[in-house]
């Protein structure tokens, strides 16, 4: 009888671990940029929910929100917040597998739009929302 209980206990633990991992993988992260670089990372069960929360969170801390958040389903990714000063100040964000790739994505977008004098403001973890 003890073996049965041990087996059931082990099965419940395994199910709990796999369920929590699956739930985390279904979560989306999003970040809306602003001129101050002060927006927080937000999460949602869907991309739309995460993006909406990002816009709302940005509007609570800034009046310069882009209202076009970057999002990712891969919580191992990192957000790069990049701001440019020419022809006017503008900030944008992108998520990618690593810092270099995330920054490169934003810088390419700015270059295509004719912006110059760009620099990375900071990076944020998609999983925790903490600055890196």
Decide if 76 contacts 62 (C-beta within 8 A): no
Q: What is the enclosing helix (H) or strand (E) of 25?
A: helix 2-25
SS3 66: coil
Residue holding tokens 């957000």? 79
pLDDT at 21: 52
Task: Give the domain range for residue 65.
Answer: 2-125
Q: Is the pTM of this model over 0.85?
A: no
The total number of structural domains in the chain stands at 1
Q: What's 45's DSSP letter?
A: S
pLDDT > 50? residue 4: no
pLDDT tens string 93-131: 999 999 999 999 999 999 999 999 999 999 999 999 999
pLDDT tens string 13-71: 444 444 445 545 579 999 999 999 899 999 999 999 999 999 999 999 999 999 999 99
């Amino acid at each position: 009888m003890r073996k049965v209980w041990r087996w059931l206990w082990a099965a419940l633990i395994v199910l709990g671990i796999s369920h929590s991992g699956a739930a985390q993988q279904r979560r989306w992260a999003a970040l809306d940029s602003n001129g101050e670089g002060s927006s927080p990372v937000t999460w949602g069960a869907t991309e739309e929910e995460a993006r909406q929360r990002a816009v709302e969170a940005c509007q609570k801390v800034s009046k310069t929100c882009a209202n076009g958040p970057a999002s990712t389903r891969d919580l191992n990714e990192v957000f790069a917040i990049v701001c440019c000063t020419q022809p006017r100040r503008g900030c944008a964000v992108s998520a990618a597998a690593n810092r270099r790739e995330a920054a490169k994505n934003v810088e390419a977008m700015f270059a295509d739009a004719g912006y110059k004098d760009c620099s990375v403001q900071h990076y944020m973890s998609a999983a925790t929302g903490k600055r890196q």
